Structure 1
Amino acid sequence: MDVILTLDQERLVADAVAVGRFQRPEDVVREALTLWERRERELAAFRVDLDRIEASMAAGDARPVKEESMRELVDSVKRRGRERLAEKAARQG
């Protein structure tokens, strides 16, 4: 397989080999492909999650997040936290 790189890409590869980060230009390309494969897998997983979320929303399983609902959630978390701290203090005291 022949690959044509831009001059900047060629310099980047040559510099990486020259400073000892990689032994050969092929190692640079292999590393780049490995990172690309990882990114593609992560993107595919994200798309699966996004499809699942969109399906859930379409089925009516989601509820809109508004400022008021966020305040209610924060208040609920704080209240439960305070209750737990009070229970823990009562058990210790």
Structure 2
Amino acid sequence: MQIELTPEQNSFIDLGIQQGRFQNSEEAVQQALALWEKRERARIELFASLGEAQRSLDAGEGEEYTIETLPKLAESVKAWGRARLAGK
């Protein structure tokens, strides 16, 4: 496969090579694709967890929080964190 990059992209890769971050342009493109793949996998996982959360809410398993109940939630999160830190 042959890919044509813009002059700006080529300059960016050349700079990375000059700085010693890459051995060659192929390595730079491989790293870029690896990062893109990682980001896409994280996005897919996020959407899957959102779907799971929505199913849980639809099943009545969630809790509703309002501006009035948020201070209590914040305190419980702080207490959980403190307990976890104390256990280490």
TM class by shorter-chain length? 0.7 to 0.9
Structure 1, unmatched stretches of 5+, are 85-93
2:22 matched to 1:19? no
Q: Alpha-carbon deviation of 1:74?
A: 4.4
Does the residue aligned with 1:64 lie in a helix, a strand or coil? coil
Query: 1:43/1:74 Cα in 2 relative to 1: closer, same or farther (>3 Å)?
Result: closer
Q: Between the two proteins, what is the percent identity of the paired residues?
A: 30
Does the residue aligned with 2:69 lie in a helix, a strand or coil? helix
Structure 2, unmatched stretches of 5+, are 84-88
Q: Alpha-carbon deviation of 1:72?
A: 3.1
Aligned to 1:88: none
Based on CA coordinates, which of the two structures has the bigger radius of gyration?
1
Q: Alpha-carbon deviation of 1:71?
A: 2.6
Q: Alpha-carbon deviation of 1:44?
A: 1.0
Q: Aligned residue pairs: how many?
A: 79
CA distance in 2: counterparts of 1:19 and 1:74, whole angstroms? 46
Aligned to 2:43: 43
Q: CA RMSD in A?
A: 2.1
Aligned to 1:7: 7
Does the residue aligned with 1:67 lie in a helix, a strand or coil? coil
Structure 2 counterpart of 1:5, which letter? L
What TM-score comes out, normalization by structure 1 length? 0.74
CA distance in 1: counterparts of 2:3 and 2:61, whole angstroms? 49
2:60 matched to 1:71? no
